[in-house]
Amino acid sequence: MKRFVFGTVASFGFAAVIWEAFARSGFFSSALSPSLVVIVPALVQMVVSGTIFVHIAYTLYRILWGLGLAALAGVPVGILMGRFKAVERFVLPLVSVLSPIPSLAWVPVFILWFGLGNAASVALVFYAATFPIILNTWTGVRSINRIWIRAAETMGAGGGELFWKVVLPGSLPFVIAGLRQAFARSWIAVVGGEMIAATSWGLGWVIFDSKEFLRTDVMLGTLVVIGILGLGFERLVFQVVERRTVGRWGMVRTAGA
Amino acid sequence: MFRTPTTLYLRGAALALGQLFLPFVVVAILWEGFAIFGPFPPRLFPRIETIVSAFVRLVVTGILPLHALETLLRLTAGFLLGSLVGVTMGMLMGRYRWAEDLLVPVVSVGNAIPGLAYAPLFVLWFGLGNLPAVLLVAFSATFPVVVNAWTGVKAVKSIWIRAAETMGATDGQLFRKVVLPGALPYVLTGLRLGLARAWRVLIAVEMLTSVSIGLGWLIFGAREFLNTDVMLAGIAVIGLVGLGLEKLVFERVEKFTVVRWGMLER
């Protein structure tokens, strides 16, 4: 633990020194690569005035809607694919063709279809998040030990019970892994979407907008916020969910458990 | 008709082919129906034949191959640069404690920032055009490569290293003959993830840095003229190239290296 804290402090100290040297070297003018003395106050000012929280709220709103809809659509499709061969044969070719298309390639189309604003960003997050969820859920259902299903059937479990008590919990480690992957992809999609399908709020938008006014300090401050939020989601939300469910049931080993 | 093995085989193949195409046929019918009866005007939601003819027109006139080639060149340049930096950093982090302590936290935060978020900054620094696009691709590809190369070096069994040392391997030999092949499955995974990420970022960044030729630019530019058919044809090509990168490049490389050495089951 001590080594971890020490290492983290040293690491960010090291990064700060490198940046400061780069900023003051005169390689770029100071308006383009501002020193930390400028970035930190810009960030503090955004926090004090509360604007950064509005941006965060907008970005999270879009990502949670998109991710939620993707989970609502992706998990059932994945489970049906795992349970019924016909569904698998129908859906799998579509998924393998659509999933390698980067979600951001759809931005221009989505702008025309949904207009600028929230709807286009949410649709983008939905597109980015759906496929990892479908593929992981499908893998999860297929990985369920057949003996469990047969045992439950022998003991007289019906379709509903089988689903809620065996299939869903059994595939949950994969479903959570899928959500995690989906989040990582959505995080990229939402920032990119906000830049191009410009609205008036959101972390991606504020970075893009700062370019117009050459506010590199605001840009870099926002970048730090994006990094901390992304890492925070990964470490706090997903690892905690994992530990509380599949980790506790002894299905996977979680970090720190 | 005689039931020779050949006819049976042909029937099986036809059935499999039919099953493969059925979903696409259904989707195409739904698309057509929506295009004709849906709320969008045909300019925004073109029919399949419009998209296909746009595709054919762009391929025949050489526009689409040109854009695709330019994008692939950019991808190659950025990806090579990124993987070179990434593998070097990852190996250092795996071999030396100080490098690990110093770099891991920075890399984890950096990894959580979408590469695209740097795009405006890179445009201010390096201007519009090729340079910021290539550098941004390199930058985004680096992170997955670093993380996986680092994990790979850590995963090399210490008994192998000790055995090699006992038998008198020098530092250089140890690295080339033990550490590098031992870490290779992870490094390849990292390169694969890096390439996927580079590809995704590149398409988006071409929209932002106004390169003059490129698939991302093609679909973004088409928006100005409401050429939805061109956009959708471009998206189809992007999907095909993405699929090709995955299937042709990396599955091959894996088969010829780690699978052949028996380190990974396929």
Residue B182 corresponds to which tokens in the numbers above? 């031992």
Which residue has 């259904």 as its token pair?
Answer: B26
What's the pLDDT at B258?
66
Tell me how close the Cα of B130 comes to any Cα of chain A, in angstroms.
19
Chain A touched by B106 (CB under 8 Å): yes
- A257 inside domain: no
Q: Which of residues 145-204 of B touch A (CB under 8 A)?
A: 199-201, 203-204
- Do the beta carbons of residue A254 and residue A247 sit within 8 Å? yes
Chain B touched by A107 (CB under 8 Å): yes
Q: What are phi and psi of A158, to 5 degrees?
A: -85, -175
| Contact list, A234 vs chain B (CB under 8 Å) | 112
The reply to whether A72 and A135 lie within a common domain is yes
ipTM above 0.95, yes or no: no
Q: Which residue type does B211 have?
A: V
The reply to whether A124 and A193 lie within a common domain is yes
The reply to whether A87 and A187 lie within a common domain is yes
Write the pLDDT tens digit of every residue in B94-138.
888 888 888 888 888 888 888 888 888 888 888 887 888 899 999
- A192 inside domain: yes
Which residue has 């939620």 as its token pair?
Answer: A68
- A123 inside domain: yes
Q: Which among B113, B123, B208 has CB closest to A230?
A: B113
- A255 inside domain: no
Give the Cα-Cα-Cα angle A105, A110, A112 (nearest 5 degrees): 120
Lowest-confidence segment of A248-257, B137-146, B223-232 by average pLDDT: A248-257
Q: What is the pTM of this model?
A: 0.82
Which residue has 């402090």 as its token pair?
Answer: A9
The reply to whether A131 and A230 lie within a common domain is yes
What's the pLDDT at A127?
93
List strand residue ranges (DSSP E) for chain A, in order: none
Instruction: Give chain A's domain count.
Output: 2
Give the Cα-Cα-Cα angle A141, A142, A145 (nearest 5 degrees): 90
Tell me how close the Cα of A67 comes to any Cα of chain B, in angstroms.
17
**Is pLDDT of B180 > 80?**
yes
Chain A touched by B44 (CB under 8 Å): yes
SS (H, E, C) chain B: CCCCHHHHHHHHHHHHHHHHHHHHHHHHHHHHHHHHHCCCCCCCCCCHHHHHHHHHHHHHCCHHHHHHHHHHHHHHHHHHHHHHHHHHHHHHHHHCHHHHHHHHHHHHHHHCCCHHHHHHHHHHHHCCCHHHHHHHHHHHHHHHHHHHHHHHHHHCCHHHHHHHHHCCCCHHHHHHHHHHHHHHHHHHHHHHHHHHHHHHHHHHHHHHCCCCCCHHHHHHHHHHCCCHHHHHHHHHHHHHHHHHHHHHHHHHHHHHHHHCCCCCCC
Question: Do the Cβ atoms of A223 and B200 come within 8 Å?
Answer: no
The reply to whether A3 and A29 lie within a common domain is yes
The reply to whether A18 and A134 lie within a common domain is no
The reply to whether A94 and A119 lie within a common domain is yes
Q: Which among B44, B117, B238 has CB closest to A191?
A: B117
Supply the CATH number for residue A179's domain.
1.10.3720.10
- A140 inside domain: yes
Roughly what angle, to the nearest 10 degrees, separates helices A216-232 and B119-126?
150
- Do the beta carbons of residue A88 and residue A169 sit within 8 Å? no
- A43 inside domain: yes
Q: Which of residues 219-248 of B touch A (CB under 8 A)?
A: 219-220, 222-223, 226, 228, 231-232, 234-235, 238-239, 242-243, 246
The reply to whether A108 and A228 lie within a common domain is yes
The reply to whether A155 and A85 lie within a common domain is yes
Chain A touched by B132 (CB under 8 Å): no
Between B244 and B78, the more confident residue is B78
- The closest of B71, B117, B73 to B212, measured between CA atoms, is B71
Question: Do the Cβ atoms of A191 and B121 come within 8 Å?
Answer: no
The reply to whether A16 and A100 lie within a common domain is no
- A256 inside domain: no
The reply to whether A24 and A111 lie within a common domain is no
Q: Per-residue pLDDT tens, chain A, 257 aa: give them.
A: 666 777 778 888 888 888 888 888 878 777 788 888 888 888 888 888 988 899 999 999 999 999 999 999 999 999 999 888 888 888 888 888 888 888 888 888 888 888 887 888 999 999 999 999 999 999 888 888 888 888 888 888 877 888 888 888 888 888 888 898 899 889 888 988 888 886 788 888 888 888 888 888 888 888 888 888 888 887 777 777 777 776 667 666 554 43
- Write out the residue range of the structural domain in which residue A46 sits: 39-247
Write the pLDDT tens digit of every residue in B5-46.
677 677 777 777 777 788 888 888 888 888 888 788 877 888
- A88 inside domain: yes
- Do the beta carbons of residue A107 and residue A192 sit within 8 Å? yes
What's the pLDDT at A257?
34
Q: Which among A112, A196, A234 has CB closest to B228?
A: A112
Q: What are the C-alpha distances in Å from A176 to residues A23, A245, B200?
A: 41, 10, 23
The reply to whether A63 and A25 lie within a common domain is no
